[in-house]
C-alpha cells in the first residue's frame, strides 16, 4: 500500500550525498549529523533540547526513566495508541492506567484523567494523534494540582500545534518517532526525546548509551538506544 521508495526518489541526490558523507567521515554513531538533527527538531518543535535515540519506543522508555518513574508507579495514559505507549510503562515495572478518549478529538479525556489520579500516580502521558493535540491546558491543570510530570507521546504529531504551541514542547518530556510511516519518517527506525529540562536532558543522554558519560565510564544502568 505504501511506496517507501517515493520519498527517496524525490530527494535522491541530496540523500546520496549525505549518506556518502557519513561513510567518508566514518562517524556512524551519534555523529555531527545526529547533533544537527537534534538541534533542528528541537527548535522546530519549540523545545530547548533534543536527544536522538534509536526509536520512538525507546524515546518513551527513556523519558519515563529520566523522570524517575519506578516499579509500582502508575502512569495515566490512553489505550487508543500504538502498543509501545503502554508497553514501555510495563517494561520498567510501572502500571499503565488506561482512561477513555474524548470522542471529538480521539485524544485522552482530561475529565477521565482527573478521576483516575491516585496516591500512586506519578505521571500523565497524553497521546497526540492524527495531527490532533490533546487538551494540554486541562491536563496541565491536573498535573500541577497533583505535582505530576507530563510526558507527551508525540510520535504522530510532529509539526502539530495546540493553540499555537508545538506538540512536544508543553510537557516535561516528549517522545517523537521517525519510523518510516510516521508523518516525518526516516529511512529506517529512529526517535527523539524533547525536553526543556537540563536535568532530563542529561539523564536521557546517559540512559541512551548504557549510562555512559564518557569512554568506558558508566554512571547508571542504561540502554543501547543510540
Query: Which pLDDT does position 116 carry in this prediction?
Result: 99
91 within some domain: yes
Phi/psi at 86 (5° precision): -75, -30
22 is a domain residue: no
pLDDT of residue 1: 59
Residue-level pLDDT at 75: 99
Per the model's pLDDT, the better-predicted residue between 9 and 108 turns out to be 108
- Mean pLDDT taken over the chain: 95
pLDDT tier at 6, thresholds 50, 70, 90: confident
Domain presence at residue 14? no
Q: Would you give the distance in Å from CA 24 to the centre of its chain? A: 31
Question: Above 70 in pLDDT, residue 131?
Answer: yes
Q: What is the CATH number of the domain that holds 91?
A: 3.40.640.10
The pLDDT of residue 183 is: 85
pLDDT, mean of residues 196-222? 93
User: Looking at the domain assignment, is residue 3 inside a domain?
Assistant: no
Please check whether residue 37 lies inside any domain of the structure.
yes
Is 206 within a domain? Answer: yes
Instruction: Using the predicted structure, report yes or no on whether residue 215 has a pLDDT greater than 80.
Output: no
Residues 6+ apart with CB under 8 A from 85: 60, 77, 78, 96, 125, 127, 153
As a whole number of angstroms, the distance between CA 201 and CA 198 comes to 5
| 67-121 pLDDT, tens digit each | 999 999 999 999 999 999 999 999 999 999 999 999 999 999 999 999 999 999 9
**Are the CB atoms for 125 and 85 separated by under 8 Å?**
yes
- On whether residue 1 sits in a domain, the answer given is no
Whether residue 4 lies inside any domain: the answer is: no
Indicate the pLDDT class of residue 17, thresholds 50, 70 and 90: very high
pLDDT (tens digit, 9 = 90+) per residue, 177-188? 999 888 888 888
| Separation CA 150–CA 67 (nearest Å) | 10
Inform me whether the pLDDT recorded for 7 exceeds 90: no
pLDDT at 214 > cutoff 80: no
Q: Kindly report, residue by residue over 150-172, the tens digit of the pLDDT.
A: 999 999 999 999 999 999 999 99
Helix axes 56-66, 84-91, angle to 10 degrees: 40
**Domain count within the chain:** 1
Per the structure, the complete domain to which residue 121 belongs is given by 29-218
Place of cell 535522491: 12
pLDDT of residue 192: 98
pTM of the model: 0.94
13's grid cell? 541526490
Amino acid at each position: 500500500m505504501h511506496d517507501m521508495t517515493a520519498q527517496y526518489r524525490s530527494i535522491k541526490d541530496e540523500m546520496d550525498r549525505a549518506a556518502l558523507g557519513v561513510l567518508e567521515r566514518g562517524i556512524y554513531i551519534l555523529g555531527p549529523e545526529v547533533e544537527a538533527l537534534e538541534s533542528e527538531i528541537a527548535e522546530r518543535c519549540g523545545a530547548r533540547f533534543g536527544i536522538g535515540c534509536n526509536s520512538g519506543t525507546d524515546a518513551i522508555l527513556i523519558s519515563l526513566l529520566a523522570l524517575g518513574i519506578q516499579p509500582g508507579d502508575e502512569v495515566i495514559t490512553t489505550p487508543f495508541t500504538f502498543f509501545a505507549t503502554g508497553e514501555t510503562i510495563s517494561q520498567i515495572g510501572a502500571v499503565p492506567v488506561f482512561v477513555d478518549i474524548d470522542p471529538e478529538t480521539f485524544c485522552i479525556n482530561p475529565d477521565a484523567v482527573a478521576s483516575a489520579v491516585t496516591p500512586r500516580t506519578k505521571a500523565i502521558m497524553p497521546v497526540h494523534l492524527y495531527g490532533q493535540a490533546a487538551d494540554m491546558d486541562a491536563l496541565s491543570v491536573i498535573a500541577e494540582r497533583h505535582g505530576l510530570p507530563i510526558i507527551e507521546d508525540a510520535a504522530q504529531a510532529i509539526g502539530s500545534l495546540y493553540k499555537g504551541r508545538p506538540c512536544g514542547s508543553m510537557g516535561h518530556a516528549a517522545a517523537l518517532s521517525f519510523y518510516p510511516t510516521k508523518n516525518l519518517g526516516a529511512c529506517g527506525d529512529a526517535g527523539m526525546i524533547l525536553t526543556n529540562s537540563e536535568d532530563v536532558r542529561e539523564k536521557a543522554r546517559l540512559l541512551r548509551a548504557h549510562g555512559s558519560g564518557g569512554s568506558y565510564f558508566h554512571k547508571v544502568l542504561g540502554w543501547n538506544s543510540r
